[in-house]
Amino acid sequence: MRFPVFALAIGAFGIGMTEFVAMGLLPEIAQTLRVSIPTAGYLISAYALGVVLGAPTLTVLARKLSPRLTLTGLMTLFALGNLLSALAPSYPLLLLTRILAGLPHGAFFGAGAVVAARLAPRGREAQTISLMFLGLTFANVVGVPLGTYLGQHDSWRVTFALVAGIGTLAALSVWRWIPPLDLAQQGGLRAQLQAFRSPQLWRIMGVAMIGLAGMFACFSYVTPLITEVAGFGAGAVTPILMVAGLGMVTGNLVGGRMADRAPLTATYGLLSALALVLLVLAATAHHPVAAIVMIFMFTAVSFALTSPLQLMIIRAAQGAETLAAAANQSAFNIANALGAFLGGVPLAAGYGYTSPALVGAGLALGGLIIALGLRGSTLNAAASAGLSSPHD
């Protein structure tokens, strides 16, 4: 199991790097292409649009292919999108290539999550899924700082070229190490689409869209929180963001263990904890040490939610696991866009940089309210009872 999951984690690392590194390179991109920084910011939205569009579309198109061929193709497309981003001579073309680079994101994580669950030992499905997502969270500790440094001291084109290389390595690793898997139990297109009639499925995605928007409402504006409220200099931003990345890694691993025991119960507890931590952050952010601790805590709690939500989606979508898992990635990116927008509303109204954390706490509670409407012992069963695996 180790090599296939490692191959998936390499792909997740590249995806996490390209998704987050653009945020730190907007000034350099804007200067090179002679556009304003707000205009360059649309590149982030373009990538998110690619994720939302590509997750269900590519999953449906690849439904008859083997998981190995699907995942290899998705990583090849990802590498191509980032290579074209590195070569884009103008802003409109870069905008299109960022959409292209985002298309495989959700489909890769959707198919990868199902493959990881099938390969997992009995009772460790969610933990194995979390190991794949470990690549994405680890990208925030190593990949994003490295890519930002290269982009600022050499060229942002070098950063995207590096991501293209990682995508190529991931494609080769997936082709080499993902074993033949029979996912024929998944139905045809009509049967898969019928699974989306389930209110349970939409509620889980609603939890992702609203609850995780709470994290993005705060994280989107964490840099001015660090400098303007906590009082750190600009040079401290990168180390503190690496602390946030360590929080993501920690939360991802802990969330996998919690999900294998009782994913719905874990979701209740984690959403409650996220609301509480964001409230504490808003109240204590002017204390430097407290700000660092709370930034670590809210990123850890937020990323601990990903495994329970992904596991419940797979369980709720009998016969359409891959499509539903991919759609859940679209929900995560909607949470990103929604959280960033709502977190900016009080800032535009003149409130301080702690206000996005308060908005985030409210969104986390909104996600909890939606989660309380989920029902079913299957969703909350221990992982050993919830998924079939090659060991059955």
Average pLDDT over residues 122-131: 80
What is the C-alpha separation between 167 and 20, in angstroms, rounded?
A: 15
- Predicted confidence at residue 296, as pLDDT, reads 96
pLDDT score of 13 more than 90: yes
Span 1-183: which CATH code? 1.20.1250.20
- Predicted confidence at residue 185, as pLDDT, reads 45
- Amino acid making up residue 105: H
- Predicted confidence at residue 386, as pLDDT, reads 45
- Predicted confidence at residue 320, as pLDDT, reads 78
pLDDT score of 104 more than 80: yes
pLDDT score of 288 more than 60: yes
- Predicted confidence at residue 388, as pLDDT, reads 43
Residue 182 pLDDT level (bands cut at 50, 70, 90): low
Residue 65 pLDDT level (bands cut at 50, 70, 90): confident
Q: H helices of 285-382, where?
A: 288-304, 306-316, 321-348, 355-371, 377-380
**Mean pLDDT computed over every residue of the chain:** 87
Average pLDDT over residues 67-85: 96
pTM: 0.80
Sequence-ordered list of residues with C-beta below 8 angstroms from that of 149, at least 6 positions apart, any chain: none
- Predicted confidence at residue 391, as pLDDT, reads 36
What is the C-alpha separation between 22 and 226, in angstroms, rounded?
A: 19
The three-class DSSP label of residue 214 is helix
**Inter-axis angle of helices 199-211 and 306-316, nearest 10:** 170
Residue range(s) of every CATH 1.20.1250.20 domain in the chain: 1-183, 185-392
Q: Which overall architecture, per CATH, does domain 185-392 show? A: Up-down Bundle (1.20)
pLDDT, one tens digit per residue, over 165-177 is 999 999 999 999 9
- Predicted confidence at residue 137, as pLDDT, reads 85
Record the tokens describing residue 236, joined without a space: 């401290």
pLDDT score of 14 more than 50: yes
Average pLDDT over residues 258-278: 93
Length of the chain: 392
- Predicted confidence at residue 382, as pLDDT, reads 58
Average pLDDT over residues 128-148: 86
- Predicted confidence at residue 189, as pLDDT, reads 67
- Predicted confidence at residue 92, as pLDDT, reads 95
Average pLDDT over residues 334-341: 85
- Amino acid making up residue 201: L
- Predicted confidence at residue 377, as pLDDT, reads 58
Residue 6 pLDDT level (bands cut at 50, 70, 90): very high
pLDDT above 70 covers what percent of the chain? 94
- Predicted confidence at residue 381, as pLDDT, reads 62
Among 26-30, 76-80, 179-183, 236-240, whose mean pLDDT is lowest? 179-183
Among 218-222, 225-229, 320-324, whose mean pLDDT is lowest? 320-324
Average pLDDT over residues 251-280: 92
- Predicted confidence at residue 118, as pLDDT, reads 83
Residue 389 pLDDT level (bands cut at 50, 70, 90): very low
- How far, rounded to the nearest angstrom, does the alpha carbon of residue 336 sit from its chain's CA centroid? 9
Q: Which helix (H) or strand (E) holds 14?
A: helix 2-24
